[in-house]
A and B are shown apart, each in its own frame.
Chain A
Amino acid sequence: MSTSTSSLRPSRWRYLPLVLVAIVFIFPLEFMIMSSLKPSQQLLSDTNSFRAFLPVGSISLDNYYAAFARAPVGLFLFNSVFITATTVVLALFLCSISAFSFVFLQWRGRDTILTILLTTLVIPIEIIAVPLLLLVNQLPWVGLHGLTFGWLNSYQVQIIPFSADALSVFLFVQYFKDLPKELIEAARIEGASWWQIYYKVIMPLAGPVTATAAILKFLAMYNQFLWPLMVTQAEQYRPVMIGLQYFFQLNIAWGEVMAYLTLITVPVLIFYLVLQRAFIASIASTGIKG
């Protein structure tokens, strides 16, 4: 039985559609970055031709300087990264441990509560935003100023309401259900506590689903607009998406808009690149699509 080497080598033409798809995905980013380097007038006139994707004409970093002058870009980036990172860490812990409880522990009402929890998947934030606002406006908090009531204009109001969500619990539940039960049984026989099983047995095996949940949560949090709009009247707590509105004046400086968009895209790209392998592994193993 012989197989020619050429038949095993993938045909070059197989890559053609992949390259085309890649171009479709890359071009908006390319346009954004190139536009961020051009004066607004040139940017607008270049949109009529392929020049929009090329670093041609008057190229400079002026839009970046102007963007930093127009808005506290560094503050907005810090706020978003801090709020998002804290929420992601909290959500991964809370959702995975609750999923662990739903899958591996026996307790009364477990399935009913899981069903109720999953029904919240279909309730959008817009529906609960006003009741949630009224609720957080009354809640107590102990901070640097002692005991205060009302969470508006704070980090916690942007973190705690989103520190657990049904989608992440669902992802962990589905993943945990596929893990072999023998692992748990063996650990129990060895005398491991439930906490030890969660921490030392289950979570080390949950890398792909953790990456998936982390990326989905990261994107949802980083792109938040409505909730921060409602709860942050003080500039010092505003995240990047509210900051984007600073650039939409009567005469829009599109170059600065593109510079700002480029800057706020960087954390997302870094986060995705770091977790890329685990994310792909998760999609391959569970069929979950983001």
Chain B
Amino acid sequence: MKKLIFGGAMLASLLASTAAFAATDLTMWYHGAGNDVEKKIVNTIIDDFNKSQADFAVKLEQFPQAAYNDSVTAAAVAGKLPDILDVDGPVMPGWAWAGYMAPLTVDPAAYAKFLPGPIGTYNGKVYSVGLWDAAVAMVARKSVLDANGIRIPTIEKPWTGEEFDAALAKLQASGKFEYPLDLGMAWKGEWYPYAFSPFLQSFGGDIVNRDGYKTADGSLNGPAAVKFGAWWQHLFKDKLAPGTSQSPADRDNGFAAGKYAISWNGNWAALGALKAHDDVIFLPAPDFGKGPKIGAASWQFGVSATGKHQDGANKFIQFALQDKYLTAFSDGIGLIAPTPESAAASINYKKGGPMEAYFGLSKAQALLRPVYPGYSVAAKVFEKALADISNGSEVQPTLDAAADEITKDIAKNKNYTK
């Protein structure tokens, strides 16, 4: 009898201890499948988090980036969202509005020193925080600019629009390049609004009127936008930049091969440019009147609104925001470390580092893409309008039609209010 009681007590103790120490599983979806470096860093963060406490165990499921958003949308339809998901900055408002994501409860001190781009705020609440930011710059060779008598712009004194046009004309006249400027027209999709809407914003226009996000009329087709459209069209009409028929191979390899003098490209391509030439410099966007602008916000971590363990998901995100992980991502994939400390500790963005300029650009010129749920619709409309104008469509009617389409979408969705 004693043995029985003892055995029963042991079993009860074992079950109780198992229950006490069984960590709750948290599922996490990430867009980096196929990128071994990202996978290793994310797995390191997850392993560290799982070892740091006993309440939650994060389990990772990776998706290829190009298929990620559609997978999340399908999972939301089926009610199968994970606890933690990552989201591209401009997509976040749409997912928050659609009820996929919940506001974060992460201590704001954890991201107080971050650049503005990686913090995803919608309707006054923070829904997502990124471990890096991305930036775009004019990539050029110092020797080429010097040889053509072109001033090297700085963050404090960027090129004016006139200076930029004059520089392109000089480079074209040199006869040494197929085109003086590579805008990356071969890259479709989000590249267009991310890379090109800052030009529009520097002219004084925008994809949508950010005052309430109720219309694009006047912003996308007003005088400033039309002026931008005319400038945009002249780049292609006057053979200053390759148009939509540019091959992806030329986009990837053209600057390195010497086909283009200046390439408008993201920091993720900077390491390749540095390998190709020993005098590469990263220059700020030109100022077309309303200040130089570049796009901001990259992939960020958020919490699913339907997750049962939002406290654990928030704990994980807060854990991931440590400087050492920000630096690891920066060193691993070349993206911008978002805090001064993590940048200073990074290989590429520390003082004197080869890509230091990007941190300054991101800090000084970054402008978030329109923060409203209809952005993904507006982005596609904007992309088509810019492609059409580059191919010769009349500027004013094309922008009028685009503004009309965006405004109708907002109205159709009742101003994207619940």
Chain A interface residues (CB < 8 Å from chain B): 41, 44-45, 47, 69-71, 130, 133-134, 137, 150, 152, 226, 229-231, 233-235, 242-243, 245-252, 254
Contacts and interface: CB of A to CB of B under 8 A. Distances in A.
A176 to B, nearest CB: 38
A233 B59 CA distance: 13
Contacts of A231: 74
B109 interface: no
Nearest to B257: A45
Contact of B77 (A70, A130, A243): A130
A137 B247 contact: no
Contact of B80 (A70, A71, A152, A243): A152
A271 B64 CA distance: 28
A133 B74 contact: yes
Contacts of B252: 44, 251-252, 254
Nearest to B267: A250
Given A233-B61, A235-B61, A137 B34 contact: no
Given A246-B64, A252-B248, A230 B34 contact: no
Given A231-B74, A246-B64, A248-B65, 16 more contacts: A45-B257, A47-B247, A47-B249, A70-B36, A137-B79, A150-B80, A229-B67, A230-B71, A233-B61, A242-B67, A245-B66, A247-B34, A248-B34, A249-B65, A251-B269, A252-B252
Interface string B232-273: 000000000000000111001100110000000010110010
A252 B64 CA distance: 13
Contacts of B64: 242-243, 245-246, 248
Contacts, number: 77
Interface size class of B (residues with CB under 8 A): 20 to 34
Contacts of B36: 69-70
Listed residue (B75, B79, B269) with the most chain A CB atoms within 10 angstroms of its CB: B75
A131 to B, nearest CB: 10
Interface of B: 29, 33-36, 61-67, 70-71, 74-75, 77-80, 247-249, 252-253, 256-257, 266, 268-269, 272
Nearest to B33: A246
A249 B71 contact: no
29 contacts: A44-B249, A44-B252, A45-B257, A70-B34, A71-B33, A133-B74, A134-B77, A137-B80, A150-B78, A150-B80, A229-B67, A230-B71, A233-B29, A233-B63, A233-B75, A235-B33, A235-B62, A242-B67, A245-B33, A245-B64, A245-B66, A246-B34, A248-B34, A248-B64, A248-B66, A249-B34, A250-B269, A251-B252, A254-B249
Listed residue (B64, B248, B252, B256) with the most chain A CB atoms within 10 angstroms of its CB: B64
B334 to A, nearest CB: 9
